[in-house]
A and B are shown apart, each in its own frame.
Chain A
Amino acid sequence: MSDISRRTVLTATAAAGATILPAALPSGSIDDLVSICSGEARAAATPAATPSSATTPDQAPRTTYLFFNDQEAALIEAAVARLIPKDEQWGGALEAGVPNYMDKQLGGAWGAGERLYRSGPWHQGEWTQGYQLPFTPAELFHAALAAINRDLATAGTPFAKMSADDQDAYLKKLEAGGQDLGGVPSDVFFDHLWELTLEDFFSDPVYGGNRDMVSWRMIGFPGAYASYYELVDQHGIKIDRPPTSLGEDLYRHIHIDPNIPAYAPPNNK
């Protein structure tokens, strides 16, 4: 499903992407930009990364999907909410904006096969030889998600409507392997899903996940600004300053940039 206004906005912001310093977007996320351009009220008046109280999990952010269709997005949101659930103290993958990150990664260069050796022939091989399917990450997700949604439509209950226990059981079944999801073995799909969830949950929020640095605050990781000469030999000291993102400015706004290429500076070759 195409939405011209959304595509246009993505191009404009993507162009600001591949520089050394984070793109100086107006404060907020791509979500907010899109809502401005399509004339909706700027619902979240504060920028997406405004820090909030450490003791209650945030609401799941409103995400504008550019890669996942509605059914895929619904399944992904429900799945990641089980993979890393929220609890009383800390938000989980959904609240951290993991579906947003996944959407941007799969819709971007990495999803299209950045850094992937893509020539055949393709043989299954031993587990020690690693991934040997012809799918790019984007193709893998589309194929597998479509197959899962088809299966569940036949069975009657979409994943998002299942009980939490049933969802967990379904995920465990995928994890165990043995099913063919449109050419993708279910355990391979699960591994990719889990890997992306993990990355999104723990990566720098500049990519659109780990919103509000929830995972870093949860574990006590201070983030991208890291200079510890004076502190390293103060054994056992507790560091509880707020974590810092590589995309943040003096106001703690995080200038989101999901299109940072997976290549080395300066000219990304």
Chain B
Amino acid sequence: MATLLKPVDVVTIGVGLTGSLAALELGQAGLKVVGLERGSGRETVPDFQSPPIHDELRFAIRKAFMQDNAKVAVTFRNASDQTALPIRRWESFLPGQGPGGSFVHWNGQSFRAQVADFIWRTHTIQRYGQKFLDSCGPELTIQDWGVTYDDMEPYYARFENLCGVSGKAGNIKGQIQPGGNPLEAPRSGEYPNPPQKEPHFGAIFRKGAESLGYHPYPQPSSNLSRAYTNPLGIKMETCIFCGFCERFACPHYAKASPQTIILPVLLQDPNYELPALCEVLRINLDSTRKKATGVTYVDDTGQEFEQPTELVLITAFPLNNVRTLLLSGIGEPYDPKTGNGVVGRNYSYQTTGGPTIFMDESINVNPFMASGACGTMIDDFSGDNFDHSNLGFIGGQYVGAIMTNGRPIEFHPTPTGTPTWGLEWKQAVARHYNHTILVQQHGTSASSRLNYLDLDPMYKDAWGQPLLRMTFDFPENDIRMSQYIADKVVEIGRAMGGKQIIRGGTKRPYSVTFYQSTHNAGGAIMGDDPKTSAVNQYLQCWNVPNVFSLGASAFPQNITYNYSITIGALTLWALDAIKNKYLKSPGPLVHS
């Protein structure tokens, strides 16, 4: 029998990036907010201090900051004609847990999207024609977002200032700036902090890329290049390039995460409550099924609670947003056979995988001296920055030397032909460890009617609820895209002085057995048509106007770049709409 709690104004399901932002903004608007978080509380001091935090086995291999597969997992299959099986240990993607969510263990890679990304369907058809798009794959279901880059720009600036992003603007209001990315979308102003120092691998890449006429630029980073006080008055410190960024938390207050940019202020708000160790089972709807009445959750003693509320914000890891909608019966679930339904539709991922460049042994690369986002890169192959006319694919990848660590369990490269174990392997590892550069290819993931999320019919979590089922493989389009770019990147590798190069490029089938990216996207996508989107341009559920689904689940397909900054901007955009429009007049913000 669930204990009924006193009603509040807002419940956020999850207290990661989007949940913290929501609580901050709506709390400042005077609302009483409860943030329900599955994990337990943690702070920079004492929980993120080194040396204990610099434990590769615990955090990078055993994945200590991630959701516990023993309690809840995801099932996976490549195609509908297979049986989905549980991902029994995370490898390919790593959903975080605990206050701060995945924004604690991220790398800090802080890009904006391109102008064309928000109108990818319209843009592609305008430039190349409908026939071209069809020829790239009749199964592709790319869509426009329902917002434009111009809508997003002020929110990008706000979020970057909140994080203290360290970078060099390349395009301010249309004026190209030296030292920045000439191919970026126009910004209203400079970054709040200058770029991080460039490590050796970045400098080598820069020279090689420049020699081929490309336009290298410093990667924008939320690992700060200097001490900074953000607009909330929270002080952050300088990143010291420890090489334990992704999968770890920062000891130095130098990486943007809710703990370092939001929570110190948010947790002072007497109207904010953050009960930890709460597993949300579902959102409850009234008899009309058009209004949420509250949220049911279980605490760590197994007791069930019902939290009544006026407004529910689903602010979990993107896959969990979709699962919450499905478990709550909000929106019509997607049916791949008919193409009808919207919840679970357009699930996308990230197309990654670049070359390994073995350099001369006189060159000390020192990859262990790195931050999560101190790379040097080029946008010449990102998005639609190059002419796709005769190439037979859409989309692109950024390319760069973006090494983030030299942690040896994960990084011990050997050239092709080296045995996979034994004495020769060992000697090759010793020979090449400090003289090898990884160049990353990281790019778009076109959505497809074949790739979707739904509830698994067989496997359950520790609370007895169905796991989310993921059906996904890389569209052939994305494979062609990454293989084309892989050839170009090999040329850059040679220009860098690489002695041996293991070519990059993504292959089918997609496998969950090795790490690629934690940028799962889609499944509760935004748009202007309730037949092809689950939420409107303000991320409000079409069917249930007092439920909003915030996060990357809203992306109709995935962009070239790491998407955290875009998520931040999109969330602030939605929160502004909630504060300025919804609260004044609750109800649908868009009439379709």
Contact = CB atoms under 8 A, between A and B. Distances in A.
Is the interface on chain B under 10, 10 to 19, 20 to 34, or 35 or more residues?
A: 35 or more
Contacts of B429: 218-219
Nearest to B43: A266
Contacts of A39: none
Given A85-B423, A131-B89, A204-B56, A225 B70 contact: no
Interface in B80-95: 82-89, 91
A222 B407 CA distance: 10
Q: Identify the interface centre among B82, B409, B425, B512: most chain A CB within 10 Å of its CB.
A: B409
Interface in B148-172: none
A199 B57 contact: yes
Interface stretch (A41-49, A140-148, A229-237): A229-237
A229 B238 contact: yes
Tell me whether chain B's interface is mostly helix, strand or loop, or mixed: loop
Contacts of B423: 85, 87
B205 interface: no
Given A92-B426, A232-B369, A262 B243 contact: no
Contact of B89 (A90, A116, A236): A116
B224 to A, nearest CB: 11
B47 A114 contact: no
Interface in B225-250: 238-244
A156 interface: no
Contacts of B407: 221
Contact of B240 (A85, A123, A206, A229): A229
B304 interface: no
A183 interface: no
Contact of A202 (B368, B369, B408): B408
Given A117-B87, A127-B513, A130-B87, A226 B244 contact: yes
A158 to B, nearest CB: 21
A113 interface: yes
Contacts of B374: 232
B433 A219 contact: yes
A128 B59 CA distance: 24
A178 B223 CA distance: 48
Between A119, A128, A216, the greatest number of chain B beta carbons within 10 A of the residue's beta carbon is seen for A128
Interface string B42-76: 10001111111011111101111100111001001
Contact of B76 (A20, A115, A129, A203): A129
Contacts of A247: 51
A226 B54 contact: yes
B502 interface: no
Contacts of B86: 117, 119, 132
B47 A265 contact: yes
A123 B46 contact: no
Nearest to B462: A119
A246 B65 contact: no
A226 B199 CA distance: 15
A239 B433 CA distance: 13
26 contacts: A21-B52, A22-B52, A85-B422, A92-B426, A115-B68, A117-B69, A117-B70, A130-B512, A168-B422, A203-B57, A218-B429, A219-B430, A224-B54, A225-B50, A226-B54, A228-B242, A229-B240, A229-B241, A231-B369, A232-B369, A235-B200, A262-B58, A266-B40, A266-B42, A266-B46, A269-B39
Interface of B: 39-42, 46-52, 54-59, 61-65, 68-70, 73, 76-78, 82-89, 91, 97-98, 197-200, 203, 238-244, 277, 300, 363-364, 366, 368-370, 374, 406-409, 412, 420-423, 425-427, 429-430, 433-434, 458-460, 509-513
Interface of A: 20-22, 82-85, 87, 90, 92, 110, 113-119, 121, 123, 125-132, 168, 171, 194, 197-199, 202-204, 206-207, 215-216, 218-229, 231-233, 235-239, 244-247, 260-267, 269
